[in-house]
Amino acid sequence: MSVLPSDLTFYGSASMPDVDGATTGGAIARNRIVNFADMAAAGTVNYVSSSASDTAVQITVTGRDVSGVIVSEAQTLSTGTTPVAGSQSFERLLKGLVTSGTAVGDVAAISSTAVVSGTAVAVAAATTSVPATITLQSGQGASVAVNQIVRIVSATTGAYQLRRIVAFTGDVAQLSRDWTTLPTGSISYTVNNGMLFDLAPVQVTEVRRLFYNAASDTSGGSARYYYEKVFAENNHASLALTSASIVKTVDPASGALDFALETSLGGSNSASNRQTVPASISTWSSGLAPQTIGVQGTGNIAAVRGGPQGVWLRLTLTAGLAAAKVSETMRITGLTT
């Protein structure tokens, strides 16, 4: 048995404000995950569920349009597994919320234009050492990315399921959790950008981009520093992740994003606002990716959500910095017995 990539998740914290003056940080919020859900190009999103029973769930998505203005729209999943087409064009997505109703299935806001689509070469259920997978058509692995969403469009069994990609090798995509029903027959799929509100292991009701609406000072002013907190969590039913580290693997080319770890696992420290340096943290990482900091205390992240590692991120915006569409990628690494 092993702790799998699908067992490891970055959750949000209790306070992740949209403005500068409010408290930030606090305890882990497992209903909130963080994700840079970039659109490949400006376009609309579709709203869909994996369950035909979801006929009254409302999703509200906020993002920026091509001119940089923050815009939003709300759509109700009146038809369950049949996508509801949105009308608002987004250049990037900032946050998504399940604003009413309780979802029966996984629900998602996905780009109306797929990254790739096709007929699966193979699918496989999760084992004790490998996550659930889908093998895409030859060559498509080069076009997909971690956190994009696989949707089973049609199959003899197991149609309409939604899963995030957590890793991939060649054309084989590893998925965020096991198939509820292993798809069979001729399996058609799409891979889309967007936001997935997972039903398990904890039902997610919010997906958000870090540093919502953060902005630099005007040219000639001062640098601004923004701080936001997430948590690295191990959802495995019994195994601890040992000798664990948090690794920033991709970041903006400017190296503007660094991170530090709370010195106590499961910590609930807050800062008075998102421009105030948090207390009780390790030394900040520096430079370009990759950057690695070992998990604090025992160096282990316990099983069954037994002690998540708080991660504070620091965004440095120099005065007069032009608006840019950037993202960062972090991983949780370690060993299991």
Kindly indicate the confidence band of residue 330, based on its pLDDT and cuts at 50, 70 and 90: confident
Q: What torsion do the CA atoms of 192, 259, 320, 68 make, to the nearest 10 degrees?
A: 20
Pairing of β 45-49 and β 84-85: antiparallel
- CATH code for the domain in which residue 143 is found: 2.40.30
Examine the pLDDT at 142 and tell me if it is beyond 90. Answer: yes
Contacts of 214 (CB under 8 A, 6+ apart): 224, 226, 274, 315, 317
Q: Do 73 and 181 sit in the same domain of this protein? A: no
My answer on whether 94 and 24 are in the same domain is: no
User: How confident is the model over 116-144, as a mean pLDDT?
Assistant: 96
* All residues at 6 or more sequence positions from 13 whose CB lies less than 8 Å from its CB, including other chains: 24, 25, 26, 27, 28, 29, 32, 228, 229, 230, 231, 310
Instruction: Name 223's Cβ contacts closer than 8 Å, sequence gap at least 6.
Output: 216, 217, 316, 317, 318, 319
Domain count, the chain: 3
Same domain, 286 and 317: yes
Do 236 and 330 sit in the same domain of this protein? yes
| 94 and 123 fall within a common domain | no
> What number is the average pLDDT over the span 258-285?
95
Share of residues in the chain with pLDDT > 90 (%): 81
Domain boundary residue among 181, 206, 231? 206
**Calpha distance 175→9 (Å, rounded):** 12
Does residue 329 share a domain with residue 242? yes
pLDDT confidence of residue 253? 63
CA distance 93 to 108: 13
The answer to which of 11-20, 115-124, 182-191, 282-291 has the lowest mean pLDDT is 282-291
The Cα–Cα gap between 248 and 229 comes to 14
Residues in the chain, total: 337
Each residue's pLDDT tens digit, 179-196: 999 999 999 999 999 999
The whole-number pLDDT of residue 192 equals: 97
Between the alpha carbon of residue 193 and those of residues 59, 110, 125, the distances in Å are 16, 6, 23
Domain containing residue 44: 38-113+201-206
Instruction: Mark which of 206, 236, 252 sits at the end of a domain.
Output: 206
Name which of 299, 291, 323, 192 is nearest 242 in CA terms: 299
Kindly state whether residues 78 and 135 are assigned to the same domain: no
Same domain, 43 and 82: yes
pLDDT at 109 over 90: yes
Lowest mean pLDDT among 78-87, 246-255, 259-268: 246-255
Residues 280 and 224 in one domain: yes
Average the pLDDT over 148-154 and give the result: 97
Same domain, 265 and 329: yes
- 190-236 pLDDT, tens digit each: 999 999 999 999 999 999 999 999 988 999 899 999 999 999 999 99
Pair 90, 137 in one domain: no
pLDDT recorded at residue 255 = 62
Higher local confidence (pLDDT), 162 or 6:
162
User: Which of 206, 240, 256 represents a domain boundary (last residue)?
Assistant: 206
Question: Rounded CA gap, 192 and 165, in Å?
Answer: 10
Burial class (CB in 10 A: 0-12, 13-18, 19+), 227: buried
Q: What is the mean pLDDT of residues 78-105?
A: 95
Q: Are residues 76 and 180 in the same domain?
A: no
Write down the pLDDT at residue 286. 84
